[in-house]
Amino acid sequence: EHGKQTRIDDSYNQLVQIIEPLYEVLRVVDGDRRPSIGLVYAKLEAARKKIREVSPRHAHLVLDVVDDRWDRHMSRDLHMAAYYLHPAYHYAHLIGELPSESDESESMPSQSQWNAYDPYQQEH
């Protein structure tokens, strides 16, 4: 009986860990502020990565549904382009965390932060 309860608890914890990143995406999309399409893509990619880490064997069951819905309702190419053209998503390791749904502009680097990592500026 104790082993069965442990398995149920483990399954419940894994389910919560899978749902949590998807919930984060939904909060961004359904929030009061209109998120940038790059932010939506970044959050969804982070959710996919987390789901694969939590449940490598079963991630495809969830991600197949997510991908099907995404393909039917969103333009993957447009979101992907916005994500790749937004510098904060590629330099977050240098300037801090990814933009949040509350205020994306707060996470944008200042000119001094850009200069700190600009090789041309460092040489002069």
Write the DSSP assignment of 71-116 as a string of letters.
HHHS-HHHHHHHHHH-GGGTSHHHH-SPPPSS-GGGGSPPHHHHHH
Residue ranges making up the domain that contains 68: 2-123
> Does the structure show a pLDDT above 50 at 77?
yes
Distances (CA, A) of 27 to 9, 55, 69, 88, 105: 26, 22, 16, 20, 18
Among 19-23, 44-48, 104-108, which stretch is predicted with the lowest mean pLDDT? Answer: 104-108
Query: Above pLDDT 90, what percent of the chain?
Result: 20
pLDDT tens per residue across span 54-68: 999 989 999 999 989
Q: State how far the Cα of 43 lies from the Cα of 69, in Å rounded to an integer.
A: 15
- Select, from the ranges 8-12, 17-21, 68-72, the one with the highest average predicted confidence (pLDDT): 17-21
> Does the structure show a pLDDT above 80 at 20?
yes
Q: State how far the Cα of 32 lies from the Cα of 46, in Å rounded to an integer.
A: 21
Domain count across the chain: 1
* pLDDT value for 121: 46
